[in-house]
Every structure is written in structure tokens, then in C-alpha cells.
Amino acid sequence: QKEVEQDPGPLSVPEGAIVSLNCTYSNSAFQYFMWYRQYSRKGPELLMYTYSSGNKEDGRFTAQVDKSSKYISLFIRDSQPSDSATYLCAMSAYNTDKLIFGTGTRLQVFP
């Protein structure tokens, strides 16, 4: 079993849709949960970060962590064509430099 599972997509939605991206994980030691966005021909950039369980909102983006289910989500409201990218979840245990990544979900938002 992989430590982190993420549906690779692709996911294609119309502009304005609500997008839900998800990852599951198996390691209960993970404390930090991150979402990276990677545009074509670019490196990943950190989009959202959450510590332990709970929700975090930043503009149109909401990150949710449910540690009891080992499940994390990223919601994008009012999706825009500029949101078209690959979204990678990543997680780590406390005080470690090792990030464990999912495979990434490719999202396309069409006008």
C-alpha cells in the first residue's frame, strides 16, 4: 500500500464549478498537510498548508484534514481557467525534512 494515494485524474470542469481534490494516507504520524500546485513546465509551488485536523481557508481555496479517516481535501470555489494545473498533496511527520507526495491530480477548467 502506498503511503499517500491520490487520483491522478484528469479532472475537467467548467469555469465557475466547485472542485474537490482528495488524498488518503496510511501513516498516522503525519502532522503537516500541504497542497502544491504545479503549472505546466514549472516546479510545484505551495498553495495551502494545514497542521493536524481542521479546515483552512484562503480566498477561493479551502483545505480540510480529517486525521481520523486519514483523508485530506482541497476545495476550489468558482474555479477559473487559470486554476488549470496539477495539484499535489504532500505530508510529513513532525520535525522531519521528508515530504511524502501523492501522484498529483491534473485539473483542467474550461471557459
Partner 1 sequence: ETGVTQTPRHLVMGMTNKKSLKCEQHLGHNAMYWYKQSAKKPLELMFVYSLEERVENNSVPSRFSPECPNSSHLFLHLHTLQPEDSALYLCASSYIPGQRSYNEQFFGPGTRLTVL
Alpha-carbon span 33 to 91, nearest angstrom: 4
User: Is residue 4 near partner 1 by the rule CB under 8 A?
Assistant: yes
Kindly indicate which of the ranges 13-21, 33-41, 57-65, 69-77 contains the residues binding partner 1, using the contact rule CB under 8 A: 33-41
Q: Any contact of residue 49 with partner 1 (CB under 8 A)?
A: yes
Given 21, 24, 30, 34, the residue binding partner 1 (CB under 8 A): 34
Binding mask 12-31 for partner 1 (x = CB under 8 A): --------------------
Q: Which long-range contacts (CB under 8 A, 24 or more apart) does 5-8 make?
A: 5/102, 6/88, 6/89, 6/102, 6/103, 6/104, 6/105, 7/105, 8/103, 8/104, 8/105, 8/106
Binding partner 1 by CB under 8 A: which of 15, 45, 66, 78? 45
Task: Determine how β-strand 4-6 pairs with β-strand 105-110.
Answer: unpaired
Q: Which residues bind partner 1 (CB under 8 A)?
A: 2, 4, 6, 8, 32, 34, 36, 41-46, 49, 51, 88, 92, 95-104
